[in-house]
């Protein structure tokens, strides 16, 4: 329980700094933010300027503004887009979050499903031909950015073979499961390739250390099959750092979903983020950044706590 308390206390200053930073974009803009946000012509209209000033609370000082903004955020009000009148940021998130979440969860699940057997097998056959081939392949995959994988997939599966649609999305609410799955394949594969490689390398290293233990030799000497020893005896003690990494790697996965959403034109959070940067819609951007960053911090906290509960060696007090 002590670990849990310590972890929670440690993230409070981090959360404050992160939220302060996301609320202070406007402060950092050079010149009158209204001009930057609206463009020269629309900034001449008093009504539009009025809206920007009210929405961004430009008449308060930094600390007061941060306090009010935080108060709003806690009650679920992330403000409105200055560009498109009356479009609430919280509504945008409600529409787009499920798509991003689906991509990330399916990709992570696929990565674990493929990486665990590959990592276990590579450790079992360490130094042999297949292990070396897997080693080379995973090293190459780590150096291959997600957008290149995505473009390569589009080039092969759409341009050359014409079996999958290159871009676009079908909402689950349209109940077209077949089309939904077809449009999910390329983004998910592109997202999970790096993860598979990273997980596979890590599990292989941990598994090889576990296989040095006497209990593995005992189990083999008792006549148990290699598969039984590998998956029932050795996998569990080898999987602790994999669990941690699966949590930490969501940061890379979040960046990855942004890139993949832009490449495949999927209407998730990432596509909106990039649109709001190019369109100077800072209120939307700061809302999205805050949600993503806080979710990421909380998730990592959760992983840290789970890890402490799972592994008695680091449970303290």
Which position among 51, 53, 137, 166 is part of the footprint of another protein (CB under 8 A)? 166
Sign of torsion, CA 170 175 179 183? positive
CB pairs under 8 A, 24+ apart, for 162-165? none
203 binds another protein (CB under 8 A): no
Which position among 8, 91, 117, 139 is part of the footprint of another protein (CB under 8 A)? 139
Find the helix or strand (DSSP H, E) in which 235 lies: helix 235-238
Q: Which is nearer to another protein, 151 or 163 (CB)?
A: 151
Tokens (6 digits) for 294:
């806080």
In eight-state DSSP terms, residue 103 is: H
Which position among 180, 240, 252, 305 is part of the footprint of another protein (CB under 8 A)? 252
What residues form DSSP beta bridges with 80?
88
Which position among 114, 262, 303, 305 is part of the footprint of another protein (CB under 8 A)? 262
296 binds another protein (CB under 8 A): yes
What residues form DSSP beta bridges with 88?
80
Which position among 56, 107, 208, 308 is part of the footprint of another protein (CB under 8 A)? 208
Angstrom distance (rounded) from CA 124 to CA 53: 64
40 binds another protein (CB under 8 A): no
Count CB neighbours of 183 within 10 A.
20
Q: Please give the residue ranges that form the binding site for another protein (CB under 8 A).
A: 10, 13-14, 17-18, 21-22, 25, 28-29, 126-127, 139-140, 142-145, 147-148, 151, 154-156, 158-160, 166-167, 208, 250-252, 254-255, 258-259, 262-263, 273-274, 276-278, 280, 282, 285, 289, 292-293, 296-297, 300
């Amino acid at each position: 329980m002590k670990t849990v308390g310590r972890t929670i206390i440690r993230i409070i200053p981090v959360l404050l700094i992160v939220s302060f930073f996301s609320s202070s974009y406007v402060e950092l803009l050079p010149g009158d933010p209204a001009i930057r946000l609206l463009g020269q012509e629309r900034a001449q209209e008093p009504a539009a300027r009025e809206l920007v000033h009210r929405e961004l609370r430009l008449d308060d000082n930094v600390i007061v503004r941060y306090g009010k903004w935080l108060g709003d955020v806690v009650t679920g009000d992330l403000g409105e887009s200055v560009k498109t009148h009356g479009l609430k940021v919280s509504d945008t998130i409600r529409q787009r979050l499920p798509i991003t979440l689906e991509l990330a969860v399916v990709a992570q699940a696929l990565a674990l499903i493929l990486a665990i057997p590959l990592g276990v097998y590579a450790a079992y056959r360490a130094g042999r031909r297949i292990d070396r081939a897997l080693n080379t392949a995973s090293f190459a995959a780590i150096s291959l950015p997600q957008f290149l994988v995505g473009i390569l997939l589009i080039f092969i599966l759409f341009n050359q073979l014409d079996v999958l649609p290159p871009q676009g999305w079908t909402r689950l609410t349209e109940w077209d499961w077949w089309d939904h799955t077809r449009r999910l394949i390329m983004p998910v594969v592109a997202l999970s390739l790096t993860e598979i490689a990273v997980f596979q390398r890590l599990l292989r290293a941990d598994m090889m250390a576990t296989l040095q233990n006497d209990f593995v030799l005992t189990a083999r000497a008792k006549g148990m099959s290699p598969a039984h020893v590998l998956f029932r005896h050795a996998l569990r003690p080898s999987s602790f750092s994999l669990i941690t990494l699966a949590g930490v790697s969501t940061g890379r996965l979040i960046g990855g979903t942004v890139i993949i959403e832009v490449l495949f034109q999927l209407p998730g959070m990432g596509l909106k983020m990039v649109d709001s940067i190019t369109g100077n819609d800072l209120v939307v951007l700061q809302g999205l950044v805050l949600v993503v960053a806080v979710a990421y911090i909380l998730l990592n906290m959760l992983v840290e706590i789970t890890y402490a509960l799972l592994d008695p060696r680091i449970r303290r007090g």
